[in-house]
Structure 1
Amino acid sequence: MIARHLSSLIFTPIFATIATSIFTLTTLFFVPVFAETTQHENSESSKVDFATDTHKDDDKSSHGKKVFIAAFEQFLTTELAIDTPGYALALVHQGKPILVKGYGLRKNGESEQINADTAFRLASISKTFASSAAGLLVQKDQLQWDSPIYPYINQVPFSNNSYAQTLTLRHILSHTSGLMPHAYSNKIEDRLSYQRILQRMDKVPFVCPPGKCYGYQNIAYSLSGDIIQSINKTSYEDFVEKSLFTPLNMHSASFGRKAFISQKNHATPHSWSKKQQSWRPMRVRGNYYKVPPAAGVNASIRDMSHWLLAHLGHYPTVLHADTLNALHSKQIKTTKKQAHYRGDDWKPLKSSYYALGWRGFDYANQKGFVQHGGWVQGFRCEMVFHPELQMGMVILVNAETRAASLVVPKFVNLYLEHFKPQASDSSL
């Protein structure tokens, strides 16, 4: 670990729910690919074998990139001097991956280092796979974004039958079902199975008609997997593995606790011990694995580099351009509080919204940033990108920290400051 931990920045809830907040260590220890190895870096650097452009940067572009990275490193050094057992980081600039690498330890107190193929839990970033999987069926005309859900899951009871009859896939993927926010997310912490929780949905009130308000969900969101499963006559997990993981060369990606802990190269979750004043390894809990579309995916940073490139449009035979546009397009406006975009660094925020399995925001003079975060016991992760600017970042961390709240807006702000892209007219 690096230096001492700033315990005042640590948050250790008894039961950490999956947060979709942008808060994360998104670029907590950003090191460019041309930097010398530091104490916290792992010496084995990932080979970037999927760059979209093999030409060398011109002098002006290379200088601008170095200035940006130096400024970002200075910010990280002076304002985010916080330790963590380990993390993995990927960065794409101008449509090319320039960093895919692991840092630190897989487990505090042991010697195994994180590398580009170390598996982490993705928590709520799993939702982006569910919406993308649905998009594959839309591409094949086997499903529509506005398809009613009841032909596929008519066994699920709801408290308002007339509202239930109007529920669509779009409502499920955009968290606009109208159900009370986080409906039965607390039951995920209990020993109830997903199917047993579904049978209690008639006890959950609607707070608005479908499509009229935003309310984040885990249980209701997972109905998307049931729809996909109903159409394909195979498990949701098998469909995603065959249709997304395999063609995108996400070789370490998997579903579930058993698959995660069976991977020799996986990161251990950690929680902060006030008594010991250190990160304490913890058991991998299986609670949120019971809702695979909402929180069931595991992946390495190399895998997530491919996922990032796919959503920047570099795998058009897998995810078509019109599918990506639909996935990233605004469906419902969210408040700063609902999106967790708070603090001084978010002052340039113009608006925020939820798309289909993704969050979106407009920042300063740029419209169309796409983002999702994840938080589950002992893990934090974050993914943010801009399709038009062809930039993006993913970080996977095997610990929980509040310092994450500063990183993404600072990253975006520094990027805009140093590269000065033209104002964007695109909007999600």
Structure 2
Amino acid sequence: MSDLSISLLLIASLFLILASGIWIGLALSGVAWIGLELFTQRAAGDGMAVTIWSSSSSWTLTALPLFVWMGEILFRTRLSQDMFKGLAPWMSALPGRLLHTNVAGCAIFAAVSGSSAATCATIGKMTLPELVKRGYPEAQVIGTLAGAGTLGLLIPPSIIMIVYGVAADVSIAKLFIAGVIPGILLALLFSGYIAVWGLMNPDKVPPVERQFTFIEKLKESRSLIPVVVLIAAVLGSIYSGVATATEAAAVGVVGSLVLSAVQGSLNWQSFKEALLGATRLYCMIALILAGAAFLTLAMGYLGLPRHLAEWIGGLGLSQFALLMALMVFFIVLGCFLDGISMVVLTMGVLMPTVLKAGIDPIWFGIFIVLVVEMAQITPPVGFNLFVLQGMTGKQLTWIARVTLPMFFLMIAAVLLIWVFPQLVTWLPAKMM
């Protein structure tokens, strides 16, 4: 069979297995087994055992369950209430007023979470009822929250950056610091959109309920101090070189437990729920990673990555054309798979092509995160859309429609980091 026929057969097998409802990790392993058994001389069982063990025993990957656990602990604290209380006095003077709490709250929680869905759910459980109660349009409240929730992937520590770093063999610490400026940029784009909307629709923005003096604003912001200290401890230990990403994740877990205890929300029940929640999520991610590693091995034996790289190279695409094609590809793929599955499934195939095109792997990692963020708010498999549908009871299509401006702002962010790549590469270069 030709390489194209083999590729089409494996792709068809993957979607057929996924359509049957089998877990993604098992589906990836199944396709790999089919490829090795039918088209190579490599023993599938032996390859599966060796690959799954080596992919699961990575020390770098240890940071992943720890950051997931930290996010689960903080999800069960009063963090969202305290953040709204501390941010609201500062946001009320801006055009669009308290809608900015969605963006600022998500940006802050993203710096201690690493998960888009957790960020969206944690901030949403406070801002949704508060903003709707105060008379803000529901479409703007939900749309800006869905978009801002994606900052959980871009602002470090980020779960998907860890996955990309392991899959592409790139420094996770450099990826983390590379995401800082693009994360701030995207948050500013979201806030800029809210400000423009507020200026264009002044009749839809509720009046200020209370004027705060500067001293009163500072007093209200005291509730933000614990989370700011935790962010500084986690990210500062990485960027200063004191700790690796894994060690910083352990610092984050201890810090979140202390914060939870100080707030009075730490008890045996919440501790158990956080630990079990983190275990379930990490086991799902680990199974996907193991299946993807096995599939990468199978594709290597079949020679598909090399042939794909040669085919794309033969098209004569410029760097920009290649990146735009990949952006469309990932957006379409995001209609069927979650972000982690997309990254682990494609990196083994795409990285040779990306490196051959002369694209910096650190820059490409941030590009991938931005594109995966878009997939978080595109139906039918947009995780943020699912989260908000569960919280609001609204139709998935309606939520996707009101989130559309945020989607276009993410495309603008991709174009900005292409035009000004230093937005991504400047801080990592300072670490060298």
Pairwise TM-score range, normalised by the shorter structure = under 0.3
**If each structure's strand is expressed as a fraction of its own residues, which one has the higher value?**
1
What's the TM-score, normalizing by structure 2?
Answer: 0.25
What's the TM-score, normalizing by structure 1?
Answer: 0.26
